[in-house]
Amino acid sequence: MQASDDTLFRASAAGNQAAFGELYERHARAIYNYLFRRLADWSEAEDLTAVVFLEAFRRRNDVVVVEGKVLPWLYGIATNVLRNRRRALWRHRGLLAQLESRGDAVAADVADRAAATQQMRAVLGRIASLPRRQQDVVALCIWSGLNYEEAAAALDVPVGTVRSRLARARAALTELDSASGHTEDEMELARSTGR
């Protein structure tokens, strides 16, 4: 039987490094996808995923478990990392240029990543019109699939606040979509975009 998140965090706090490694393996992909969807930059999302887990390791004695899960707590850390750390969006251009010169397979991968980045930037442009707090709720509930209670724990706000922010965000996006000709399919595509 697989150990619970809570058990692994307690073991990690007691000095068991393998326990924290198992937590990383269990949740790193979800945190990476959340960060990519917020940044539309795969390289920065990878960097910030590492920062989130370093912060979680540093704060492992303060973990907040919601219904047996630590993922909402990790999303909360990721949200704070996003707020506190602004980086240049195009710092990986030089690396991409080098990779393109190495061959077709790498060039195809670079092209796919560039297309995914461009697509996420378009969606992110629409989301950017929302207040920051509504953006956080959209990213957690729609893109990352958290329920209201989990998102409330991640953001440290009441459940009703999550519900109202999400309702206002959906209404604003529907109005924006009607005015600009965007479709709900683009938002759904953004939910599935990631590495």
Residue 195 has pLDDT above 70, yes or no: no
The answer to whether 42 and 32 are in contact (CB under 8 A) is no
- The distance from CA 190 to its chain's CA centroid, rounded to whole angstroms, is 12
Read off the pLDDT band of 97 (50, 70, 90): low
Query: What average pLDDT does this structure show over 151-163?
Result: 95
CA-to-CA distance for 152 and 142, rounded, in angstroms?
Answer: 14
DSSP state of 69: B
How many CB atoms lie under 10 A from the CB of residue 162?
25
Alpha carbon separation from 94 to 90, 100, 102, 121, 164 (Å, rounded):
9, 10, 13, 19, 42
The answer to whether 82 and 139 are in contact (CB under 8 A) is no
- Each residue of 100-124: pLDDT tens digit? 666 666 667 777 788 778 777 877 8
Joined tokens for residue 186: 């683009």
What amino acid is encoded at 192 in this protein? S
Which CATH architecture describes the domain 5-192?
Orthogonal Bundle (1.10)
pTM over 0.85: no
Read off the pLDDT band of 92 (50, 70, 90): very low
DSSP state of 62: G
Joined tokens for residue 25: 């393996």
Query: What average pLDDT does this structure show over 71-83?
Result: 92
- Cα angle value 62/67/71 (rounded, 5°): 60
Higher pLDDT, 45 or 61: 45
**Lowest mean pLDDT, pick from 28-32, 116-120, 136-140:** 116-120
Residue 78 has pLDDT above 50, yes or no: yes
CA-to-CA distance for 29 and 21, rounded, in angstroms?
Answer: 13
Spell out the domain ranges in the chain: 5-192
Residue 183 has pLDDT above 60, yes or no: no
The answer to whether 97 and 63 are in contact (CB under 8 A) is no
Q: What is the largest CA-CA distance in the chain?
A: 55
- Cα angle value 96/97/98 (rounded, 5°): 90
Place of tokens 């991640």: 154
CA-to-CA distance for 161 and 186, rounded, in angstroms?
Answer: 26
